[in-house]
Structure 1
Amino acid sequence: MNDRSHLTIKFGVGVAGIVVAALAHAQSSVTLYGVADAGLLYTSRTAGGGAHQLSMIDGGMSGSHFGLKGAEDLGGGLKAIMTLESGISMANGGFANSNGNLFGRQAWVGLTGGFGTVLTGLQYSPFVLSLIGTEPRNVSYFGSGAPLYVGNVLDTGLFNPNAISYTSPVIGGLQGSAMLALGGKPGDFQAGRQYSARLKYDMGGFTLDAAVYSGNAGGTTAMTPVPSAVEFTGRTIGAGYTIGNLTAKAVFVNYKVAGSFDNRVFGGGFDYALTPALNANAGAWYTSDGNDTANHSIMTAAGVDYSLSKRTLLYGQVAYVKNHGKMNTGLSLNGALFASEGSTVGATVGIRHTF
């Protein structure tokens, strides 16, 4: 073999090495994921004060949805990421648990690396993510802070279109995030404008989480199938502690809607893994209208779930709410979002599969 052949082989090996390295840096993946959740709901009274009801509902524990997650390694610890997520009703196959659009839950693209994460597009607000983190019953759609949130401000702050957000890396247990949603229209930049910020501390099983939110009426956020432009300000602070199989959480939330109520919510509860397959949780929430304390409610709830596999579980939940004055706190995000003055008892049983 002559010198030219040796040079050719070495050159070819070198080029192949560069190509393999480049492909390694540019590795990408797309993952299909989702939740299918359906159950039966019973309430002793309907929102209008009528007789009891029994109905099939979508999302007795969590909203049914599916989505795509994508990531591409750009090298140097930098990744491009994206998510498209659509809500769906297990009852009729239509859109649900979102703002009514095809990918009405999440539709964003961004970059993540050592500097933190930047996202652009339809996304959850830091305020909502803080409430999820401090929810004692794992944000169950029945008997938790979830129906309280939607009952107060609908989808506002939950699904934020035209949003840009930044989340810092974790430094000494601290992590911060901020979001600005550009919901304006020509000649009125403030219409539909939404912003939110969050600061979280997590160390040794203890978590402290606080967030704020402010949103204006109008703009493009009012044009979605389920309008998400209720003009309100939100404040929350919560804490949690995990020891062994037990996690306890407490939270305060303030929903102040312009020209309407000023609800203060005090909540707390626990989640306990009895066995690897059997889990139990319970919580209580007291809501009072700061503008008129005669309007108040107390809601309590408890639930158990049993895992048939890593992806499929059966669940059962019970809850009680008592409303005073004009307060209309309901038991379930789907099927019983509001309740009448007086006492209402409810229960759900269902099945949930994740993929």
Structure 2
Amino acid sequence: MKKSLIALAVAGALTAPMVAQADATLYGKLEAVLQAKEDNDVDLFMDDVIFGLKGSAETSVEGLTAIYKMEVELNEGKGPEGATSEDSSITTRYAYVGATGAFGTVLAGRIANPTDVVEGYGDVSNKAGALYYNADRVGSALAYLSPSMSGFDFYVATVMDGSTTGPDAEDVDAYIIGANYMVGDLSLSVGYWDMDSNGTDTYSTYDNNILVGGSYAFGPLTLGLAYEQASFEAANTDDYKLYGISAVYTAGAAAPYIQYSEAEQGSADADEWALGLNYALGKKAGVGIEYSSVDSDTGFKDEGDQFNVSYTVKF
């Protein structure tokens, strides 16, 4: 799954690595996908080639542990002979240092966007989720994540990338705040972005984004809802609004799911639905199948149907 509803149970530690380990841990993920997309040839490609290093180190300050994480993704080239130096690249997914203790966790660098947990309530798909707008990760960030307090946790973060100059430049390019409440089978989350309209190329596409979502587990069945509203005041265009709903049924190693999302901006609208199954072949391997379809006003979103079969191995 792109985002697992199971992971929402520990959303307060979304960007924090495991701190019990004393040494660095090498980890990774490789995923092969066979994709049949409307009006396209069948494509076999590596969607995820990810590896990283994470770890912790004790400090001289009692109760304070230093933490770090570095993760990159190799993007496959598409030449007739496979990837070449001209058409492949490396993307930095995460690169941060931090400190954690009873007070919570502080991180600095490129981190997971803590508000992205909200999208996970509606987007549980393997490959769909084309209408969702929120960024998965943010760079040049300084974040504080609170410890869980009877199921409640909160976070605050800033983005300061120094790319803008001139009299309208702002030292802080974005503010991020949010909170999660997770107890028993109930999970609730809210997040908010506030971007500098004259800020960075990465985040100036919209001025602010509001995200609200939640899920409830009825035994093996988990239902999720997500709402997102992004504004574009600098561009003087209508707000982008998205509504998402999902259902996942966990039966042993099998997890069939269905999700639906609808987006609108002014008079334009689009909707997407996906039906799929993820099957775990153990803790480190799994397969997935999915059929999805996007129906959109011309030019608003890429539309069409696609069918994916994926095989994932982790280490």
Aligned: 1:352 with 2:312: yes
Please report how far the alpha carbon of residue 168 of structure 1 lies from its aligned counterpart in structure 2 after TM superposition: 0.8
Question: C-alpha distance in 2, partners of 1:27/1:176?
Answer: 25
* Structure 2 unaligned spans of 5+: 1-19
Alignment deviations for residues 146-166 of structure 1 (CA, whole Å, 9 cap, x no partner): x323xx47xxx4332221000
How far residue 244 of structure 1 moved from its aligned partner, in angstroms, is: 2.5
Q: Name the structure 2 match of 1:299.
A: 272
Secondary structure of 2:131's counterpart equals: helix
Contact preservation (8 Å) 2:206, 2:230: no
TM-score (norm 1): 0.72
Contact 2:74–2:90 (CA under 8 A) maintained in structure 1:
no
1:123 aligned residue: 111
Aligned to 1:71: 56
1:38 and 1:90 in contact (8 A); partners too = no
Deviation at 1:108, TM superposition (A): 0.6
Structure 2 CA distance for aligned equivalents of residues 283 and 316 of structure 1: 14
**Greater helix proportion:** 1
CA deviation string 1:256-289 (max 9, x = no partner): 2341442111101111112x22221110001111
Aligned to 1:277: 253
1:242 maps to 217
Q: 1:80 to 1:38 in 2, by over 3 A?
A: same
Change over 3 Å in CA distance of 1:136–1:148 after alignment to 2: closer
| TM-score for both structures, normalised by structure 2 | 0.81
Structure 1 residue 200: deviation in Å?
0.6
Pairs within 5 Å for 1:171-320? 171-184=149-162, 185=164, 187=166, 189-190=169-170, 193-216=173-196, 221-222=200-201, 227=202, 229-257=204-232, 258-259=234-235, 260-274=237-251, 276-289=252-265, 292-293=266-267, 295-320=268-293
Residue 36 (str. 1) matches residue 30 (str. 2): yes
Q: CA deviation at 1:78?
A: 2.1
Q: 1:90–1:191: structure 2 CA closer, same or farther, 3 Å change rule? A: same
Deviation sequence 1:7-59 (CA, Å, 0-9, x none): xxxxxxxxxxxxxxxxxxx9831111121112111122xxxxxx343212433
Tell whether the 8 Å contact from 1:232 to 1:256 is kept in structure 2 after alignment. Answer: yes
Partner of 1:48: none
Of 152, 160, 170, the match for 2:148: 170
Q: Map residues 74-153 of structure 1 onto 2, 5 A cutoff.
A: 74=59, 76-90=62-76, 104-132=92-120, 134-137=121-124, 140=126, 142-144=127-129, 147-149=130-132, 152=133
Of structures 1 and 2, the larger Rg is shown by: 1
Paired-residue identity, %: 23
Q: Secondary structure at the match of 1:88?
A: strand
Stretches of structure 1 lacking an aligned partner (at least 5 in a row): 1-25, 45-50, 329-337
SS, match of residue 148 in structure 1: coil
Q: Alignment length, in residue pairs? A: 284
- Measure, in 2, the Cα distance between the counterparts of 1:110 and 1:255: 30
Per-residue deviation, 1:248: 1.1
| Equivalent residue number for residue 14 of structure 2 | none
Asked if the contact 1:136/1:271 (under 8 Å) is kept, the reply is no
Q: CA RMSD in A?
A: 2.6
The partner residue of 1:161 within 126, 139, 147 is: 139
Q: How far apart in 2 are the matches of 1:27 and 1:272?
A: 33
SS in 2 for 1:128: helix
Question: Residue 75 of structure 2: SS of its match in structure 1?
Answer: coil
Residue-by-residue CA offset, 1:297-343 (whole Å, 9 max, x unaligned): 11110111222222111111001121125421xxxxxxxxx33xxxx
Residue equivalent to 1:323:
296
Structure with greater strand share of residues: 2
Query: What secondary structure is seen at the aligned counterpart in 2 of 1:32?
Result: strand
Is the Cα–Cα contact under 8 Å of residues 296 and 325 in structure 1 kept in the other structure? Answer: no
Q: Distance in 1 between matches of 2:172 and 2:180?
A: 27
Between the aligned partners of 1:93 and 1:199, the Cα distance in structure 2 is: 42
